[in-house]
Amino acid sequence: MPTASNDKAIEFIGVSKRFQLAEGRSLREFVPALLRGRGWAPPFYALRGVSFTVRKGEMLGIVGRNGSGKSTALKLMAGVMAPSEGEVHVYGRVSPLIELGAGFHPDLTGRENVHLNASILGMPGRDIRARFHDIVDFAELRDFIETPVKRYSSGMYMRLGFSVAIHSDPDILLVDEVLAVGDAAFGEKCLAKIREFQERGVTIVLVSHALGMISEFCNRALLLHGGRVVLDGPPQEVTQRYLELMHADEVAVS
């Protein structure tokens, strides 16, 4: 196994991810399937033999159509899924920004949710207490922090989630289409924070359909199609190819 003292942040080696579609959720479906001598429905491959390496401090963009395997790749990086074949290595602490505020409880106050969410992301208690004010200030929710989050607007909700995640001191930040949080001013603030992270050498993986953002921020991009890496290279080239691919598919359909 490679040691952690290299410059790699994320490494995918021949990774495939298989899913059982139309899975039987009850014994009523499972037992007959078993008796017929075969397991479940035929497998579906979300990723097939994907290999790439993300260096420390790199900002990688991943583009691809819906169902191309982007989210699966992100879930493998986040460690919520294990690959069916191949190896995934992640060096350092990962903070996923995938669907913000997933860990929020509507009945808890903003303050309690900050503690809950931060501890889910793996922040030790003393760090949470030390950074609590920074988190609240960044989210601009000082006046509402004792209010249950069910009374929050969706913008407030997402601001708080974003703020917790970026204050969790990640080595690797996984971003999935979430930078459209709050109003324009807050969006700017988030982008500034992303730049600051880049300067500090935090590795960032950005999955987005916003091609402008990919070419502006990332120093490298991957194009996924049908669970395979079609192109791995400079963002401009990759986004160009992505547009061609989309166009080609449209032509094929019509």
Partner 1 sequence: MNQGPRVAGRDHIGTALRIPDFIISLANLWHRRELLWNMTVRHLRGQYKQSILGYAWALVMPLSQMLIMSFVFSTLLHIPSQGVPFPLFLFVGLLPWNFFSTALSSATDSVAGASSLVTKVYFPREVLPAAAIFTKVVDFLFASLILVAMMIYFGHAPTWTIAWVPLLFFIQFLFTLGLSLPLAALNLFFHDVRYLVGVALTLWFYITPIIYPVDVVPHRYRIVFDLNPLSLFINAYRRVVLLDDSPGAERLLLGIVIALVTFLVGYFLFKKMEPGFADRI
Handedness of CA 127, 129, 132, 133 (dihedral sign): negative
Q: Are 88 and 15 in contact (CB under 8 A)?
A: yes
41 binds partner 1 (CB under 8 A): no
162 binds partner 1 (CB under 8 A): no
Please state, in angstroms and rounded to a whole number, the distance separating the CA atoms of residues 93 and 40.
Answer: 36
| Shortest separation between residue 4's beta carbon and partner 1, angstroms | 6
147 binds partner 1 (CB under 8 A): no
Handedness of CA 84, 92, 217, 127 (dihedral sign): positive
> Cβ closer to partner 1: 100 or 156?
100
134 binds partner 1 (CB under 8 A): no
**Phi, psi at 141, each rounded to 5°:** -125, 25
19 binds partner 1 (CB under 8 A): yes
Of 128, 214, 231, 238, which lies in the binding site for partner 1, with binding defined by CB under 8 A? 128
> Cβ closer to partner 1: 82 or 185?
82
Closest CA to 47 of 80, 83, 10: 83
54 binds partner 1 (CB under 8 A): no
Please state, in angstroms and rounded to a whole number, the distance separating the CA atoms of residues 55 and 33.
Answer: 45
Strand partners, 176: 98, 207
125 binds partner 1 (CB under 8 A): yes
Please state, in angstroms and rounded to a whole number, the distance separating the CA atoms of residues 239 and 197.
Answer: 23
190 binds partner 1 (CB under 8 A): no
Please state, in angstroms and rounded to a whole number, the distance separating the CA atoms of residues 203 and 146.
Answer: 34
Given the rule CB under 8 A, which of 18-26, 139-147, 207-215, 237-245 is the region that contacts partner 1?
18-26
244 binds partner 1 (CB under 8 A): no
Please state, in angstroms and rounded to a whole number, the distance separating the CA atoms of residues 124 and 77.
Answer: 22
82 binds partner 1 (CB under 8 A): yes
Residues that bind partner 1 (CB under 8 A): 1, 4, 15, 19-20, 23, 25-27, 30, 75, 78-94, 96, 98-99, 102-103, 105, 107-108, 112, 115-116, 119-125, 128
